[in-house]
Structure 1
Amino acid sequence: MQNRLLGIHMIVQNEEHHLARCLDSFKSIGSECFITDTGSTDRTPEIARHYGATVLHIRWEDDFAYARNISLPLASTEWILCLDADEHVIQGLEELLDYLPKVHKSVSRLRITIENQIGEGAGESVIFQPVRLFRAHQGYRYAGRIHEQLVRGGTRDGGEQEGDDQDMNDSFAYEKGWIAEHEPLAPLRLVHDGYLPSTIAKGDKPLRNLKLLQRELADRPGQPFHLYNVGVTYCQLGYIEQAAEAFTESFLHTPLHAPYRSTLVRDYAKVLLAMGRYDEAHGLLAGERQRYAGYADLHLIYGEILEQQGLEERAYKSYARATDCREGFNGADLKDNNKAEIRGIHQQAIEQTDKPGSDELCEGKSSDDVHREPAQMERHYVTDMGCDSYKAYTTMGRLAQKRGFLQESAHLYSLALSSEITYAPAWTGLADVLQQSGETDESIAETLLARRKEHSKKEDSYPGAVIYDDGLVHVVHALASSGAYGQALNLLHGDPRNTRIKHEDYLYWMLCANRVSDALHYVRNHWSEELSDVRNLQPEQRVDLALTYWANELSVSESFVAAAEPQERKGWRLLNGLLDAGEQVHVEDDRDGKTVHQTLQAATELSKNILIRAVQTGQLAFANKLYEKMAAINPEHDGNGVYSRWLAAVLYRQGYTMAAADLLIQCMSQGDLDAESHFYLGEAVYAKGHYDQALILFQQALELNPEQRQARAGAAVCYMKLALGVIRHELTRSPADKVLMAQQTVLEQQLRTAEGIPWRTVFHARERRNQLADQAHFIMHDREG
């Protein structure tokens, strides 16, 4: 029996991959359903009719509002719910049916909650709460060619349509610039996955949207709402500079009370941050995060900006403030119960967040200078999931770890996991800081398993709770990310099939753990060498399989080589023969030498991918062997030291700093260093405390590339350290010299900021382990003889 309380209205075109899922999620309530098809050429209408929907066929007129309005007069239900085909219910449908009859008659519009997935991982969603529910036959219709808005009774004074943006919206409809009403939030939650990067790559939605937005702007030049959405569309297309221009223009003309303005500020700041325009982003958020004080995203972005500027204490403070934005949160879990766990400069930052107006004062503003929203404007911001909880705690944990507060860092990562047990960065961060604290791999595994068990007990304490039964996956991945490959493999007991561990990850971990014979056994059991099986391998998987055979001093099969891309086959055959100790390699020449050149070129490019993977898996002996073999058959392959410098950079970034430095010093003796090589060598010298030598290398890097930001920051830090050393030396002779003491204080503050700028290469647990590992000596052959 069809219910007369709630009806579903949709517009669709070629949605056969999504529509059934959407309609299936509403099937239990037997809703009236109108689907307006705008020209599908697939099975969409057939699927709609299968679910009992009334299908209306119209021609697409490049106007979303026109299409949406077609079905509204046909509704026989009290309420209308407008959906998109790539949305589906995850929560609250039965509750909604209980809720709607109780809604006061004066309320005619309701908001719902939508999780817009922007990534494949847990928590990679944006939460927004648009008006999607409204009473039928109350004069409502949609207006706007794109990003259509729900309007009622024509237009407002001045000709501007009343309404709110369906995609980027707020809690209020506005009338004459002020609040008209507050739409309640209905207990319905949907997921929308139509704008996942993988989905966008398959279709042309952003290009279609851009075309419609440009038509809107042709009709209404300079309209800030459309300019904002142009910026969003450019972001989806990857045109970040054009997005920044659109956001800038929109921001300059958007009224303070506009419903989408807070989201515009967020997206504008994100783009400026991504472009490295830190001063502009800082200036934007210094005031705007006071206006939208409850917007966790702004505090989190502001913290990232401050970190890039080296202002780590203030960055931490901003991250902590994001956690205060949780609904009903009073800060107890961070500021009271666990305050004893927080130490050092981070405790000071947290205490500062308790001081009213402290942010305004640190920005050089009085409390009167900051124009906040009216107190009655309760906000429902468009927000990334976790910005007010697990993402904020994780960034705080990372920053605490960077500053050496390891116990505090571990505590903050644990807080993040208490908020979201599936958040992978918190798991990997916890494993990383435990390794940095000197814990054994066995102890790290025990701590992570205990953390998982603790969460399971909490789930058990709630009646009807769904038990998360594959938490072992996160523990295993966290152990592997910290370089504890042996422990990760041991937890799987030699068989990943009972978990969501991918076969290629398992093989990679065995190579990293140097269990090459086990890896060979695993490959033979799980991968066929038949052409059809190996042809579908990804490039890294193909290299891992080859490494498995070569590390066991075996050759890859001809079927493996034949399955490679045509342009790579000659390279595979040459390398396969080159690494076979019992085979003599000959490259057949032709009269113009073309065959030799093509074969060597293919082998050289392929050898780079193999060397990268060999270094990543810790197979340095094999990497050295391949490097020597390539040098032996092609003495000209390393012209001007390009190949050696490239290999040194690969080694350095993986933590093999000694091997990299050794190779770079050999290159330096032949005058072959480029700007990047000078920087890496300078950083290695800096780590040993030789600031004068490091300064020379950083300066040489800047001479070769004046735009290298890392070398510039490194040189500045070296200058300050050398100057501070001179002042301290003078103070030993004149300890009461107030001028020197004042200079020392100022210089120490400046040095803290300079050191806080993220200029140094970041080494995590895996790279830290490699710094202590045996490192092969890569011989650089004489290119002239």
Structure 2
Amino acid sequence: MELISISLCLIVRNEEELIARCLDSVSDIMDEIIIVDTGSTDHTKEIVSRYTNHIYDFKWINDFAAARNFSFRHATMDYILWLDADDYLLEKDRQALLKLKSTLHTDYDSVMMDYVLSRDAHGNAQFFTRRNRLVKRSKGFQWVNPVHEVLIVEGNRLATSIEITHGPKPEDKDPARNLTILEEAIKKDQGNMSLRHHFYYSNELMDNGRLDEAIESYISFLRRDVENHEDHLAACGHLAHCYRTKGNRRQELQSLFKSFEYDLPRADYCCRIALWYEEHEQYEKAIFWYETALTREMPADHYGLMNKICWTWAPHVQLTLCYGKLGQLEEAYRHNEKALAYLPGDANLQQNKKQLEEALHAKKDNEPERPNENDSIDGERGEQMDR
């Protein structure tokens, strides 16, 4: 099979700290690199000139979709791969992309890849979502929305396990930038705020610490018709986070249960419900929801943000703790072993294994002993399930 050709398209601005890492991870796989600079004042353009001479200036007009469409118009290869400057590929994903390049059938119009926003202490994907990352140039797919832009894709799609890793800058960008752009877009809506703008406006209010406004905005969003159920699901989770931050735990729980209106129970929401009961020392209920999380299969066609640890090791870790609290040491040990299968080198789990084995041995000798609750599983793991 003939290899496809790929154009890499990036929009950049003042990315001198990270752009080389991004390009080093993919440049040898690409047939063409298109860089669109929206106003860099650092050494970004000098750095990217080492990789390509296809560098174009684009006057910034507070519209990410416009800049991305401009970059796509300069691509000339069979397919377009788009990245941000703070994205990169690990070696395993580089090899997977090389293989894909030599095996992809041109009947596919788009290739989906996982976008990993964070990893656990062992390097496994934690928070991730899916994106249409590699698209057929001849289809002329377009970006829409000035911020939190989306590529409108139709046709035959291929889902892969290739991961694009996000590695943000050491210093945060202006936290109010996206909020300002959205407020401008909403003004253009003339009171008819689109569902997408409404959802992301709520998110930006939350991220900027305006929690009361965010809560009001999420509530009004959830009253609207469902256009993309992933957004309504996420709104429930974000609303729960706002209530949790404000100390309104009852409404936090109600918001998590509301997610069931938009899809079958997902493991990440089940774990957050379980954590609520665990934190309120209602261990039987917590066990029910952690056990339920273990029965759920991750939907194959999702596009929303997922917390992968809730589909793998996290329920087992918390079940170890909950069963330990109830003195059910055999069950605690069983789930600790399940967690160790995912995280074999985890020091907390190894220590917990040792303590449980000692306690179980003592129990067999008719000397019942419960493990020290304060030394069992790291209680802060539960915080990784919020949002």
Tell me, yes or no, whether TM beats 0.5. yes
- Relative distance call for 1:324 and 1:119 in structure 2 (3 A) is closer
Shift of 1:392: 1.1
Q: Secondary structure at the match of 2:33?
A: strand
Q: Which amino acid aligns with 2:283?
A: E
For the 8 Å contact 2:237–2:255, the answer to whether it is kept is no
| Alignment partners' CA distance in 2, 1:236 and 1:58 | 28
What does residue range 352-501 of structure 1 map to in structure 2 within 5 Å? 378-379=301-302, 381-423=304-346, 426-427=349-350, 429-430=352-353
TM-score where L is the length of structure 2: 0.81
Equivalent residue, structure 2, for 1:292: 263
For the 8 Å contact 2:351–2:376, the answer to whether it is kept is no
Equivalent residue, structure 2, for 1:214: 183
Shift of 1:319: 0.7
Equivalent residue, structure 2, for 1:23: 23
- Relative distance call for 1:37 and 1:429 in structure 2 (3 A) is farther
Shift of 1:422: 4.9
Post-superposition Cα deviations, 1:501-522, rounded to whole Å, max 9, x if no partner, equal xxxxxxxxxxxxxxxxxxxxxx
Equivalent residue, structure 2, for 1:487: none
For the 8 Å contact 2:240–2:255, the answer to whether it is kept is yes
1:232 aligns with 2:206: no
Shift of 1:238: 4.2
| Alignment partners' CA distance in 1, 2:120 and 2:218 | 23
For the 8 Å contact 1:117–1:192, the answer to whether it is kept is yes
Equivalent residue, structure 2, for 1:188: 162
| Alignment partners' CA distance in 2, 1:214 and 1:237 | 14
1:250 aligns with 2:224: no
More off after superposition, 97-106 vs 54-63: 97-106
- Relative distance call for 1:400 and 1:431 in structure 2 (3 A) is same
1:204 aligns with 2:173: yes
For the 8 Å contact 1:224–1:251, the answer to whether it is kept is no
What does residue range 121-132 of structure 1 map to in structure 2 within 5 Å? 122-123=123-124, 125-132=126-133
| Alignment partners' CA distance in 1, 2:119 and 2:206 | 12
- Relative distance call for 1:257 and 1:434 in structure 2 (3 A) is same
Shift of 1:285: 3.3
Equivalent residue, structure 1, for 2:11: 11
Equivalent residue, structure 1, for 2:36: 36
| Alignment partners' CA distance in 1, 2:257 and 2:145 | 34
Shift of 1:275: 3.3
Equivalent residue, structure 2, for 1:109: 110
For the 8 Å contact 2:294–2:315, the answer to whether it is kept is yes
Shift of 1:33: 0.5
Q: Secondary structure at the match of 2:89?
A: strand
Q: Which amino acid aligns with 2:167?
A: D
Equivalent residue, structure 2, for 1:260: 231
- Relative distance call for 1:428 and 1:272 in structure 2 (3 A) is farther
Post-superposition Cα deviations, 1:407-454, rounded to whole Å, max 9, x if no partner, equal 322321221121133556545654665677798xxxxxxxxxxxxxxx
Q: Secondary structure at the match of 1:132?
A: strand
1:270 aligns with 2:270: no
- Relative distance call for 1:41 and 1:424 in structure 2 (3 A) is farther
Equivalent residue, structure 2, for 1:58: 58
What does residue range 687-698 of structure 1 map to in structure 2 within 5 Å? none
Post-superposition Cα deviations, 1:10-33, rounded to whole Å, max 9, x if no partner, equal 001111111111100113324310
| Alignment partners' CA distance in 2, 1:56 and 1:40 | 12
Q: Secondary structure at the match of 2:333?
A: helix
For the 8 Å contact 1:397–1:413, the answer to whether it is kept is yes
1:84 aligns with 2:78: no
Higher helix share: 1
Higher RCO (CA < 8 A, seq sep 6+): 2
Shift of 1:237: 3.7
Task: Count how many residue pairs are aligned between Structure 1 and Structure 2.
Answer: 364
| Alignment partners' CA distance in 2, 1:121 and 1:325 | 23
Shift of 1:56: 0.9
What does residue range 551-566 of structure 1 map to in structure 2 within 5 Å? none
For the 8 Å contact 1:278–1:308, the answer to whether it is kept is no
- Relative distance call for 1:110 and 1:301 in structure 2 (3 A) is same
Q: Secondary structure at the match of 1:404?
A: coil
Post-superposition Cα deviations, 1:105-125, rounded to whole Å, max 9, x if no partner, equal 554222111110277775573
Post-superposition Cα deviations, 1:159-213, rounded to whole Å, max 9, x if no partner, equal xxxx6xxxxxxxxx7xxxxxxx673213531110227xxx3xx233422112112
Q: Which amino acid aligns with 1:397?
A: T
Post-superposition Cα deviations, 1:63-84, rounded to whole Å, max 9, x if no partner, equal 1011111121221111001100
| Alignment partners' CA distance in 2, 1:239 and 1:432 | 45
| Alignment partners' CA distance in 2, 1:226 and 1:422 | 44
Post-superposition Cα deviations, 1:276-297, rounded to whole Å, max 9, x if no partner, equal 3333233333353375336211
For the 8 Å contact 2:34–2:52, the answer to whether it is kept is no
Shift of 1:85: 0.6
Q: Secondary structure at the match of 1:9?
A: strand
| Alignment partners' CA distance in 2, 1:58 and 1:118 | 34
| Alignment partners' CA distance in 2, 1:35 and 1:13 | 10
Shift of 1:250: 2.2
| Alignment partners' CA distance in 2, 1:310 and 1:765 | 16
| Alignment partners' CA distance in 2, 1:30 and 1:150 | 21
What does residue range 741-752 of structure 1 map to in structure 2 within 5 Å? none
For the 8 Å contact 1:282–1:306, the answer to whether it is kept is no
- Relative distance call for 1:127 and 1:5 in structure 2 (3 A) is same
Higher strand share: 2
Q: Which amino acid aligns with 2:164?
A: L
Q: Which amino acid aligns with 1:279?
A: R
| Alignment partners' CA distance in 2, 1:149 and 1:403 | 48
Q: Secondary structure at the match of 1:255?
A: coil
Shift of 1:54: 1.5
What does residue range 770-781 of structure 1 map to in structure 2 within 5 Å? none
- State the structure with more CA Rg: 1
| Alignment partners' CA distance in 1, 2:123 and 2:346 | 6
- Relative distance call for 1:120 and 1:39 in structure 2 (3 A) is farther
- Relative distance call for 1:149 and 1:233 in structure 2 (3 A) is same
| Alignment partners' CA distance in 2, 1:205 and 1:424 | 38
- Relative distance call for 1:59 and 1:261 in structure 2 (3 A) is same
